[in-house]
Amino acid sequence: MNTPVLSIQNLAKNYGNIRALDGISYDIPKGCVFGILGPNGSGKTTTLGIILNVLNQTNGSFLWFGKPSDANTRKQIGSLLETPNFYHYLSAVDNLKITQAISHRGSKEDIERVLEIVNLSQRKNSKFKTYSLGMKQRLAIAAALLGNPQVLVFDEPTNGLDPVGIAEIRELIKKLANDGKTIIMASHLLDEVEKVCTHVAIMKKGALLAAGPVDEVLVNEDIVEVSSDNLEQLSTILKDYSGVQQIKQENNKLQVYFKMGTSNLRDINQFCFNNGVILNLLSIKRKSLEAKFFELTNN
């Protein structure tokens, strides 16, 4: 198996009495866009702070490229935790020269390269203070790209931007992923993770609720509601029906969960009839991703 880009093992963090991370573990595969999704205060920024060596963990460990983090591995990681303090009266080029002098990342030519990637080449000599919020954020991403790191870590990269700015950053993230970068980003927006990420870890109050490919964790579901005179018999029969993921009883009916688009009411009716059960209720409810996320984070 390929070595994960990042492997987090039982990571925990206390701030005094506050348990900000409660022993979380997951792997981040190479080449994915990995979203850390959760409501405010769920521990996303704390996780990013620890893996970037800005914060110390209370317990647990993490490996970058299968090894403990050192100066060499850190060169392979570009990050944007909060908008950096660029100089307002300097141009993008001059600001990046300063960033480069401090971080020792990349060559002089690298500045032109990263400005091209974030689509700021045409405005590279304008003063930072003349930039829109979206352009400022793209310059911050350009700074993270200096030295051409394999991995990029972004904390809420679209926060505070207008819809156009949000769309530009999302496109940029997709472009970077297409170029083979591994991207790790925190977000509290389900919609954003769904649109941009290939993988997700869902967090709530420092705990990990689920992790894996987005289409497995945030799967859309069909719920088919059925009822008959004998619910127990009906439930037993339906367990053998192809595509059924789970069956829950609610009052005098059953809720049968299918992956989105795989249920067929006519076939279900026929199947039950063939097995000697007459249905007195058969209806379908679609469950949105929002409902699924709400269910995960609100119990």
**Beta strand pairing call for 59-64 and 182-187:** unpaired
In angstroms, give the least distance from the CB of 21 to ligand ATP: 8
Does 294 contact ligand ATP by CB under 6 A?
no
For position 199 contacting ligand ATP by CB under 6 A, the verdict is no
Cα–Cα distance measured from residue 64 to residue 68, given in angstroms and rounded to the nearest whole number: 6
- The reply on whether position 45 binds ligand ATP by CB under 6 A is yes
Task: Decide: 46 and 11 in contact? Cβ < 8 Å.
Answer: no
Contact residue for ligand ATP among 40, 178, 274, 299 (CB under 6 A): 40
d(CA 37, CA 278): 43
Question: Which residues face 36 on adjacent strands?
Answer: 186, 201
Backbone angles phi, psi at 156, to 5 degrees: 45, 65
Determine the straight-line distance between the first and last CA of the chain, rounded to whole angstroms.
35
Q: Does 41 bind ligand ATP (CB under 6 A)?
A: yes
Give the Å distances, CA to CA, from 119 to 123, 134, 142, 183, 240.
9, 11, 9, 19, 55
Q: Which amino acid is at 116?
A: E
* Count of residues in contact with ligand ATP, rule CB under 6 A: 12
Considering only the stretches 40-48, 71-79, 176-184, 282-290, report the one whose residues sit in contact with ligand ATP under the rule CB under 6 A. 40-48
| Residue 46 is a binding residue for ligand ATP (CB under 6 A) | yes
Give the shortest CB-38-to-ligand ATP separation in angstroms: 5
The stretch near ligand ATP (CB under 6 A) out of 2-10, 13-21, 69-77, 81-89 is 13-21
* Spatial strand order in the sheet of 18-28: 18-28, 6-15, 59-64
| Site string (151-190) toward ligand ATP, x via CB under 6 A | -------------------------------------x--
Stretch that binds ligand ATP, among 15-23, 24-32, 82-90, 260-268 (CB under 6 A): 15-23
Decide: is 100 part of the binding site for ligand ATP (CB under 6 A): no
What is the rounded CA–CA span in Å between residue 27 and residue 63?
9
Nearest distance in Å: CB 2, ligand ATP = 29
Which residues of this protein are in contact with ligand ATP, per CB under 6 A? Answer: 15, 18, 20, 38, 40-46, 188
